[in-house]
Amino acid sequence: MMNNKTSIMEVNNLKVHFQIKKDNAWPWEKPRTLKAVDGINLSIYEGETLGIVGESGCGKSTLARGILRLVPITEGSVVWLGKDLTSLDKQQLRAKRQELQMIFQDPLASLNPRMTVGEIIGEPLTTFRPELTKDQVKEEVRQMMAKVGLLPNVINRYPHEFSGGQCQRIGIARALILKPKLIVCDEPVSALDVSIQAQVVNLLKALQKEMGLSLVFIAHDLSVVKHISDRVLVMYLGNAVEIAHKNELYDNPRHPYTQALLSAVPVPDPKLERNKEIQLLAGELPSPMSPPSGCVFRTRCPHAKELCETQKPTLTQVNDLHYVACTRKDELQ
């Protein structure tokens, strides 16, 4: 996928499959395969934010963890600054952790309750930069706390003494303390109030500009994704169905699934909200252990034809920086 920016990560045919065996299965029964991520190709560019959206269970978080090698990869490669992360051993991968960090969904659960704020934020420094003295670590921690909007006098407090928004700021400070190049944000605002969501999103945008970060931002709220993202990837049942620049995707969605998702986004104008047409999806999300043949979306697609049962579409370019995986994409403009 072409872009005038420099690509820092290339994800090629990434698959993350899990072997699931029933608790009461007979010894000779083979486990079933759960295809959480089933062949994703994407590029992440320097200084950009790539948003990832889709229903619960579509594989967004598993894709994020696969990119960072927090879960085993079944097939494919993740090339980071020219180096294939899937070929690294544990020690080599550990060294790369300084450049790749993650912000988690539940801000309180992601923090060690027995450690103070200073210890939590400073732990990566003591791990990766053992040459620093305690005073140097504390000074860097205080500087990072100021960047994320935390007062320095709370450095000796514990996570349970903070609100959800403050805990997320602590998690952001911890992720940024090593000055990484890429941050994966796994639904970092979904557990927060709307007003706090806006604060955290604006903080991430400001820090990205200041530190030259690239972000992968996973969320359910398409309004939040549009606000922070440069490009947006739409996932369905472990597959990428559409990827485009945010304005192109929101103004001209080409995949029926994307169209249905965007039709459900509330419009701030009451008159437009009352008159807009919502495209309801039929049926339930299929199980990733037995996905439909051909196009995985065909069982819920209002435009599905016989061809969709046998032919699995791949992402193909429809115009500049807009890619769609649909056999009938030219008919659905």
CA gap 272, 87 in Å, rounded: 52
| CA dihedral over 17, 98, 187, 255, signed as positive or negative | negative
DSSP 298: T
DSSP 301: -
Q: How many CB atoms lie within 10 A of CB 64?
A: 21
Provide the pLDDT for residue 29.
81
Provide the pLDDT for residue 297.
92
CATH topology (fold) of 7-19+33-251 = Rossmann fold (3.40.50)
Q: What SS3 state is found at 135?
A: helix
Cβ–Cβ < 8 Å for 259, 313: no
Provide the pLDDT for residue 2.
46
Q: pLDDT means per 10 residues in the chain (333 residues)? A: 75 94 79 92 94 91 93 94 91 90 87 94 93 94 94 93 92 94 92 86 93 93 90 95 94 91 76 68 83 91 88 88 82 59
Q: Which two tokens stand for residue 285?
A: 């999300």
Q: How many CB atoms lie within 10 A of CB 328?
A: 18
Provide the pLDDT for residue 331.
65
Provide the pLDDT for residue 76.
95
